[in-house]
């Protein structure tokens, strides 16, 4: 089955480990679509630029295959969004440089959603500490009404805690997805954004370098044309 002009489903699913262990490495319709997108958006432009065949050393991996080789079942290989490749006669660094500077699909938008359950407990603790130390005329130290403390400090403390969660969420996402980024993620400004309420949604533009060098010296490219989402939960 042809995924694009120069790439087939067979080469994107070929695995010596799967053959040796008798593992079914057949992708579903969704994974096949992702592989096709990867071929059209990344691999075909790469092949056209260097005018040389692109050798796929590892493409799609079923969950069973991921487990067999010690990879996570959530790997983008299992989604059809990752490929290890090399181009004979072209240094990996040259291939990587071209991809980073010429494939727009390597840019990403990350969405972070934060609700009151994620920060409220920390905000309350900090405000309680403020109350103990607050020195306000007319009240003994430690006896300032909590309502007054919240009115004076509540919003600024909440904003600080939300910003901390934002940074933690972005860092966690980059580590888990093994992404390097060029510069810092840039927040997308929203005209109607407000700190009123208790649920917030943020979006960041990132120039993602979805490229790694593997031990066998081929290049690992990950591609996702969907927006990445991070949603904070109570059990995180």
Q: Does residue 125 form part of some domain?
A: yes
Tell me which residue of 118, 91, 83 sits closest to 211, measured CA to CA: 83
Express each pLDDT in 97-117 by its tens digit: 787 777 654 556 678 889 999
Q: What percent of the chain clears pLDDT 70, i.e. is strictly above it?
A: 79
Structure tokens at 79: 């989604």
More confident residue, 81 or 47: 47
Whether residue 16 is found in the same domain as residue 76: yes
Checking if the pLDDT of 180 tops 60, the result is no
* Mean pLDDT, rounded, for 74-79: 85
101 and 38 in a single domain? The answer is: yes
pLDDT for the residue 5: 94
Domain identity same for 105 and 118:
no
Burial of 93 (0-12, 13-18, 19+ CB in 10 A): exposed
If you average pLDDT over residues 63-92, what whole number do you get? 87
Does 101 fall in a domain?
yes
Question: For 209-218, how does the pLDDT look when each residue is reduced to its tens digit (9 = 90+)?
Answer: 454 443 334 4
**How many angstroms separate the CA atoms of 186 and 204, rounded?**
5
Domain match, 93 and 210 both: yes
CATH number at residue 150: 3.30.70.1050
Residue 32 belongs to a domain? yes
Asked if 132 and 194 sit in the same domain, the reply is yes
Residue 120 lies in a domain: yes
According to the model, what pLDDT value does residue 104 have? 55
pLDDT for residue 232: 38
Residue 76: give the domain boundaries.
Answer: 9-110+206-231
Domain count, the chain: 2
| Same domain as 185, residue 79 | no
pLDDT tens, position by position, 157-177: 999 999 999 888 888 877 776
8 Å CB contact between 96 and 219: yes
Cβ neighbours of residue 39 closer than 8 Å, sequence gap 6 or more: 3, 4, 6, 7, 12
What pLDDT sits at residue 138? 81
Q: Decide: pTM greater than 0.75.
A: no
pLDDT at position 7: 96
Of the candidate ranges 32-41, 138-147, 173-182, the one whose mean pLDDT is the lowest: 173-182
* CA 153 to each of CA 67, 133, 164, 176, 178: distance values in angstroms, whole numbers, following the listed order: 50, 13, 17, 35, 38
Q: Which residues contact 50 (CB under 8 A, 6 or more apart)?
A: 87, 90, 95, 98
Distance CA 190, CA 35 (A): 33
Residues 13 and 105 in one domain: yes
Q: What average pLDDT does the chain have? A: 80
């Amino acid at each position: 089955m042809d995924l694009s002009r120069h790439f087939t489903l067979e080469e994107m699913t070929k695995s010596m480990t799967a053959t040796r262990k008798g593992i079914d490495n057949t992708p579903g319709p969704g994974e096949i679509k992702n592989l096709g997108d990867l071929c059209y958006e990344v691999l075909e432009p790469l092949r056209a630029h260097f005018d040389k065949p692109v050798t796929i050393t590892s493409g799609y991996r079923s969950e069973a295959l991921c487990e067999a080789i010690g990879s996570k079942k959530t790997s983008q290989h299992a989604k059809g969004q990752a490929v290890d490749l090399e181009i004979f006669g072209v240094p990996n660094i040259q291939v990587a440089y071209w991809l980073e500077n010429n494939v727009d699909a390597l840019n990403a938008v990350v969405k972070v959603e934060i609700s009151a359950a994620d920060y409220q407990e920390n905000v309350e603790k900090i405000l309680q500490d403020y109350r103990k130390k607050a020195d306000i005329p007319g009240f003994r130290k430690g006896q300032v009404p909590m309502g007054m403390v919240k009115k004076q400090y509540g919003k600024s403390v909440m904003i600080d805690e939300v910003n901390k969660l934002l940074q933690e969420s972005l860092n966690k996402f980059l580590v888990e997805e093994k992404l390097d980024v060029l510069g810092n993620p840039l927040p997308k400004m929203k005209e109607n954004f407000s700190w009123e309420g208790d649920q917030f949604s943020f979006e960041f533009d990132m120039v993602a370098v979805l490229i790694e060098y593997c031990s066998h010296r081929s290049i690992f490219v990950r591609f996702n044309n969907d927006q990445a989402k991070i949603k904070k939960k109570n059990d995180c």
